[in-house]
Amino acid sequence: MFAPPFCPNPRCRHHHDRAGWRYQRHGRYRPHCRRFSIQRFQCMSCRRTFSRQTFRADRGDRRPETNVRIFEMLASGVGLRQIARTLGLNPQSVQNKLGKYGLTLGKLHDNLCQRLPAGRTFVLDEEETFEQKSIRPLTVPIVLEAQTWFIVATEVGSIRRLAPEGTARRRRQDRDERLHGRRPDESRRVVQQVLQRLRDRLPEGLLTLRSDQKGSYATLVLEVFGERAQHDTTSSRAPRTSSNQLFAINVTIAMSRDNNGRLRRESWLVTKLAAKLRRQLSIFVAYRNYIRQRFNYDPVSDSPARLLGLLPRALSWREVLRWRQDWGQRSVHPMSRSGLRLVGAAAPCAA
């Protein structure tokens, strides 16, 4: 039975303070897209009415029964048009769902991953793709925890990599830059952003960060972490076996290309806009961290988030898409069925 955790009206004094809050049932309504009626409520303080759907992530959806299936297919590398054909939807509807899921799941990750355990080892690397054309490359930095393979942060940024003078590719790049301006190189900025997100989630103390021998990494690690980070480097030409210190990030990057059609080279699924790739990566991070087990031979409940101590078990596809997450730590916890358990009130699990 759903019970509203607080008044959703941001102007109500009980939006942030539940103490003394009272509400009453205020009838029911029957949406066209559901087989059952929805209970409505009224806040006794501000007199605003609302329903369970006010707190749900599928509020306003016309085909909510397709949400989980679309999420599964987006996390499995299926293209937007193929999803639309399979489920009998308009391709624009699937694209709208991608944008909505990307925002919701990005906030879910931020809410559930507020603090990370101390004394962990993290791995940093970048993968490359492009938007629209191969002459418009993008970089995707990823930082993850080495033991659990929990993805802490990702970002997307443009890079400028010119072909040799006189080649056909260079002529195409020059024409493109004459039309659209000089392409910015954002590699340093986006790598700094993912390192800052890692820093913001860590308690004080030492940490170990592994990466390849790219020259800018050492400078950025020192800028972001100071002397608290031990930076270990490995040659990118070293054999990519399980004994390689970058094995976890190498496999995760390969998995990201398998689970995200937008990252596949020489594919017509390639992303048209970097912003859309960010939304897709939020879906991949939610799937990899909170739903899928770390390795195929692990128990299905052993997601990276469970192994890191952020959750007591892996989440289901339906749980990840259950509640709105735009209220920060006051958002309803994805494992809550009644709506009363909030993200910030959940006790951390033992790692």
Mean pLDDT, range 80-105, rounded to an integer:
94
For the domain bounded by 117-265, which CATH number is listed? 3.30.420
What's the pLDDT tens digit per position in 330-351? 999 999 999 889 998 755 444 4
Q: Of 262 and 253, which is predicted with more confidence?
A: 253
User: Is residue 60 over pLDDT 90?
Assistant: no
What's the pLDDT tens digit per position in 110-137? 999 999 999 899 999 999 999 888 899 9
User: Is residue 169 over pLDDT 90?
Assistant: yes
- Residue 288: Cβ within 10 Å count: 22
Structure tokens at 27: 């009838």
- What values do phi and psi take at 23, rounded to 5? -140, 165
pLDDT at 267: 72
pTM for the structure as a whole: 0.92
In the DSSP assignment, the letter for residue 50 is E
24-38, 177-191, 282-296: which has the minimum mean pLDDT?
24-38
pLDDT at 1: 82
User: Is residue 147 over pLDDT 60?
Assistant: yes
pLDDT at 346: 59
pLDDT at 107: 97
Q: Where are the domains of the chain?
A: 1-54, 63-112+273-351, 117-265
Torsional class of 311: left (φ above 0), alpha (ψ -120 to 50), beta (otherwise): beta
Contact 258, 77 (CB under 8 A): yes
